[in-house]
Amino acid sequence: MRILITGGTGFVGSRLIARMQPQGHEFVVLTRNAEKARRKLGMDTFRIIEWDTRSPIPPDAFQGVEAAVNLVGESIASKRWSAQQKKKIINSRVEPTRALVEGINAHAPQCRALVSASAIGYYPVNQPEPLEEESEPAAGFMSEICQKWEAEAERVNEGTRLVIVRIGVVLGRGGGVIGRLMPIFKAGLGGPVSDGSQMMSWIHVDDLAGILSRALKEDSMRGVYNAVAPHPVTNREFSKAFAKALGRPALLPAPAFMLRATMGEMADIVLDSQAISGRKVQEEGGYSFLYPRIEHAMNEIAGRS
């Protein structure tokens, strides 16, 4: 297939391209910096098009496009959540998604599928049971992001199969949360956050790329899927598994009050508990996880498998 992608130079998008290009698929990459994209993705990328996410997508970008994947968005953890930063985070998802959908609707009647990212922030936190795709959305900023993001994707033509992927905490070498935590844990300074009892729904980046790839190719997949590993863990279990894989201790907890003082409202991301079910993507989506348990993921990340 020829696949149009936003967010193709990011941690997840670049992994998806690396997975699918050897299978013969072509990517049209929309990016703000074409030269940087070529350096990162390689010269064999089919086509790279510079695009300011606040403007319409050039119509010729859709030529021959049979599927699209939407991974664009400002990091939610790059800065404290001021009112201005919250607006920037929402707009960085809503505006490009709107432009992508409008472009597909106007210029790509042959586009058979749109796979659009969302996040498990859609769901309430601190619930007693694992939440599934049909669960009601939460109130609050994280859920507001996801609901507005998904609403834009849902405006795509009925002839384009829509898959919305609500993504958990992404783990993998070279980026995401592991990129930030690796120096701390390698120094033996890692440990649980607060009392470590909060649940964490996670996924290895290779499994996320696998789910996105399957969603692009499988006509049976449509609607919402949670992209989370089958076995959520407590923050304490996460810290212990990471430290063990690195051969380091994990004894130094990060107190909740310290996180709130330094991160403000954003501290809720790591202090709240979320157990999300990944049953549907396995049973209905037919996906088989490479790293179903945290020990498997951490051993790969540490280079032990």
Q: How many other CB atoms sit within 10 Å of the CB of residue 22?
A: 7
Q: How many other CB atoms sit within 10 Å of the CB of residue 161?
A: 20
Q: How many C-alpha atoms does 168 have within 13 Å on its Cβ side?
A: 32
> Do 113 and 68 touch, CB atoms closer than 8 A?
yes
| pLDDT tens column, 272-291 | 999 999 999 999 999 999 99
Q: What are phi and psi of 193, to 5 degrees?
A: -95, 130
Q: How far is CA 249 from CA 170, 187, 194, 235, 252, in A?
A: 23, 9, 17, 15, 9
Q: Given a cut of 70, is residue 266 above it in pLDDT?
A: no
CA–CA gap between residue 74 and residue 4 (Å, rounded): 19
- In the chain, the domains with their CATH numbers are 2-171+204-228+276-289 (3.40.50.720)
The reported pTM is 0.95
Query: Which residues are 166's β-sheet partners?
Result: 118, 226
Question: Which pair of tokens denotes residue 255?
Answer: 């107190």
Reference 227, options 122, 77, 92, 73; nearest CA is 122
pLDDT at 262: 67
CA–CA gap between residue 68 and residue 45 (Å, rounded): 15
> Of 27-31, 41-45, 113-117, 200-204, where does mean pLDDT reach its minimum?
41-45
| pLDDT tens column, 38-93 | 888 876 667 999 999 889 999 999 999 999 999 999 888 778 889 999 999 999 99
Continuous H helices in the chain:
11-20, 34-41, 83-107, 141-153, 176-186, 205-217, 235-246, 256-263, 268-271, 279-283, 294-301
117 SS3 class: strand
Q: How far is CA 35 from CA 14, 41, 49, in A?
A: 15, 10, 10
Q: Given a cut of 70, is residue 35 above it in pLDDT?
A: yes
Share of the chain above pLDDT 90, in %: 76
pLDDT at 155: 98
Q: How many other CB atoms sit within 10 Å of the CB of residue 169?
A: 20
CA–CA gap between residue 260 and residue 209 (Å, rounded): 33
Burial class (CB in 10 A: 0-12, 13-18, 19+), 13: buried
pLDDT at 141: 93
**pLDDT interval class at 263 (50, 70, 90):** low
Rounded to a whole number of angstroms, the CA Rg of the chain reads: 19
> Of 31-45, 95-109, 145-159, where does mean pLDDT reach its minimum?
31-45
